[in-house]
Structure 1
């Protein structure tokens, strides 16, 4: 199901970000603010957004595999629920960021030159 999303370049809104390898990346357990991570290390906006998208995809894949493990009986109900809640929060964050980008784009297009 989630394996159909192989990289961020498949998404129509993020073609300028380039390909992000979701198979070899490892999501970190530390949480940082997106603005501070890019400002402190000199990363570009595109690379920060790409890494956030990669982390979201990895979270969704992890939740999917954990749900299958729950069905097989190898994972506890709590582990499955925690994984699903984490994936839901990551997806809601990605949707909120997308909505803000679309709103900003619409505001720019309404500006008078």
Structure 2
């Protein structure tokens, strides 16, 4: 009972990251038959989407490894490595968010 409640609450935060990443679009990316002046390569939105998706996947993997450790299927080293990787991904996502918010606030302060 407690395990299912904990797992559900942890997954709700991860689902928020997934919905954020799915809201980004990758339009404007063209590679074949491009003409001068058209966009090529990865867009900023798709890069942010990739970061959010990777962070969500790392959090899911760490959560699954933690549950495997509780059940005795994974050793302590694997659990610690997975949790540390998830923490690093989460800190990176938070840093991106903070930079984007700060940039937005700076733009709103500009006089037109």
Taking structure 1 as the reference length, the TM-score comes to: 0.70
2:12 maps to 1:10: no
Cα shift at 1:42: 0.5
CA distance change for structure 1 residues 3 and 95 in 2, over 3 Å: closer, same or farther?
same
Cα shift at 1:6: 3.7
In the alignment, what sits opposite 1:58? 57
CA distance change for structure 1 residues 100 and 55 in 2, over 3 Å: closer, same or farther?
same
Within a 5 Å distance, the mapping from 1:1-113 to structure 2 comes to 1-4=9-12, 5-6=14-15, 8=17, 10-11=19-20, 17-18=24-25, 42-113=41-112
How many residues are treated as equivalent by the alignment?
Answer: 89
Taking structure 2 as the reference length, the TM-score comes to: 0.70
The two structures, once aligned, show a CA RMSD in angstroms of 2.2
Gaps of 5+ in 2: 1-8, 26-39
Query: Which protein is bigger by CA-based radius of gyration?
Result: 2
Gaps of 5+ in 1: 19-40
